[in-house]
Structure 1
């Protein structure tokens, strides 16, 4: 079980690294002129981050997390239900990031940099809530 927990933690760290970084790339990409070399570089960076790091890490989180919960007998714990809801919503946020990445790739971004600056704070709020639930198990 410890190896599984270690794998889960590493996947969470990798996933959150991407969740923090991709919206920041969007902030800078939104200000890059369409068709510029800078814009094309951002497109490659965003695609690779999403497909090579974030999505695989998210999948590992979704595989190892429920396995750990089952092994710990935690499925009846209310804190876990809330955590799973938050992770589900965070997965939806990644879905939004994926959509925005495709819009940038098609030179069809409709949001200003400020929008992405605000979106960049979303993962931090989720991280705080999830860590507090896991460590404190308040319910």
Structure 2
């Protein structure tokens, strides 16, 4: 029963984290296109609040609950699909960190990318999400 509670809240945290992972780079697209100071300052506030108030806490909860599920069900760690999933989670944490670095560049008015670059950057978590869902549902290894 504990595992099911952990799993339910893990899924909720994952959804919240991915919502932020999809939205923050979209804000970067609009921020990169903004030309007036008022809009740029507004984007800085929105990006900071999203990253610190939603994205990072939901990542921490996601990882914490994921670890708790592995503690409750350690047999998952011997399965290949779980190794692949954990690799994708590590990539996602790297993407999260990259978003934080980009956020700092925007905050310092030091953006080095075009809005088109951010549009492509915004697609990366989608690929990871597809991979994770397929691994968890199909368990191919």
What TM-score do you get using the length of structure 1 for normalisation? 0.96
* Length, aligned pairs only: 138
Distance in 1 of aligned mates of 2:63 and 2:4: 17
Deviation of residue 69 (structure 1)?
2.4
Structure 1: 5+ residue runs without aligned partners? none
Corresponding residue number in structure 1 for 2:34: 32
Deviation of residue 71 (structure 1)?
1.9
Per-residue CA distance 1:10-68 (angstroms, 9 max, x = gap): 1100000000000000000001126x111111000000000000101111111111221
Corresponding residue number in structure 1 for 2:46: 45
Corresponding residue number in structure 1 for 2:117: 115
Corresponding residue number in structure 2 for 1:135: 137
RMSD: 0.9
Corresponding residue number in structure 1 for 2:13: 11
Deviation of residue 70 (structure 1)?
3.0
Distance in 1 of aligned mates of 2:87 and 2:63: 12
Residue 75 of structure 1 aligns to a residue whose secondary structure is helix
The answer as to 2:98 corresponding to 1:96 is yes
Corresponding residue number in structure 2 for 1:69: 70
What TM-score do you get using the length of structure 2 for normalisation? 0.95
Distance in 2 of aligned mates of 1:79 and 1:69: 14
User: Equivalent of 1:106, from 101, 105, 108?
Assistant: 108
